[in-house]
Amino acid sequence: MAIVKKTPEQIDKMRAAGDILVRTLQLVERKIRPGVTTKELDTAAEKFIRSQGATPAFKGYRGFPGSLCTSPNSMVVHGIPGPYALRKGDVLSVDCGVILDGWVADAARTFAVGSISSTARKLLDTTAASLLHAAEQCRVGNRLGDVSHAVQEVVEAQGLSVVRSLVGHGIGRDMHEDPQIPNYGPAGKGIKLEEGMVFAIEPMVTTGRHAVRMGEDHWSIYSQDGSLAAHFEFTIAITADGPSILTPWHEAAA
């Protein structure tokens, strides 16, 4: 396993890609309402990303047709944008990657379509909280297991399940670099975190059990038991000053 560390200048380039990504997610958030199709969201996102002189990282990645992954309800990740029209009460996970000047940023969040059930609200709030808790662990001297464990701790305390067969990853010039970052596991184990490492941390959580299955399109991944799923992701740099979130969608007013 070779982890490619980034200089502060390179991290700034990733932050610039991340800024476009945050604004893309804001654009998507403004468009989400009952009746809008996931394809319409994807078209708007791609247009915006290209208008900023950037490239959608997902489009064409291993043949993926969209600029966004749009995954409603029991779909966990990797949904292909299409004719599905959002309905009031849905949750929709939107994952996006942006390449600017050769550097990649990757982030996701799950949106509510109108008012949602209290179970769905707990799922979204808990998954986002687990990501923020994990982000806090991205410090020099901590170990990778501290990050993984932070997610699991927050999620399982609420009686929800961490998807185990999908992981976060290092990121930089390539969207998927070493190391793999599970969302569960013991604290205090794994590699030591060092300045210049950049991670995409992405808890995927269900209201049921953790097992998942692949859809018939060979992209979409669903909870096996049909329970609701959420997916939140940041690209985060480990700096001398602590964690630096390069895709701070949580700070941006929509």
Contact residues: Mg ion, CB under 5 A: 95, 106, 108, 200, 202, 233
90 or 233: CB nearest Mg ion: 233
Q: How far apart are CA 135 and CA 155, in angstroms?
A: 14
200 or 204: CB nearest Mg ion: 200
Give the nearest distance from C-beta 174 to Mg ion in angstroms: 11
Residue 47 sits at φ, ψ, to 5 deg, of -60, -45
Give the nearest distance from C-beta 235 to Mg ion in angstroms: 8
Give the nearest distance from C-beta 106 to Mg ion in angstroms: 4
Q: Pull the structure tokens for residue 95.
A: 């994952």
Give the nearest distance from C-beta 88 to Mg ion in angstroms: 26
Q: Pull the structure tokens for residue 63.
A: 């043949």
85 or 214: CB nearest Mg ion: 214
225 or 250: CB nearest Mg ion: 250
Q: How far apart are CA 167 and CA 112, in angstroms?
A: 23
Q: Which of these, 28, 64, 24, 19, lies nearest to 221 by C-alpha position?
A: 64
Q: How far apart are CA 166 and CA 179, in angstroms?
A: 13
Give the nearest distance from C-beta 39 to Mg ion in angstroms: 19
144 or 200: CB nearest Mg ion: 200
* Cβ-proximal residues to 37 (8 Å cutoff; 6+ apart), any chain: 81, 82, 83, 84, 85, 86
Q: Pull the structure tokens for residue 208.
A: 């049921």
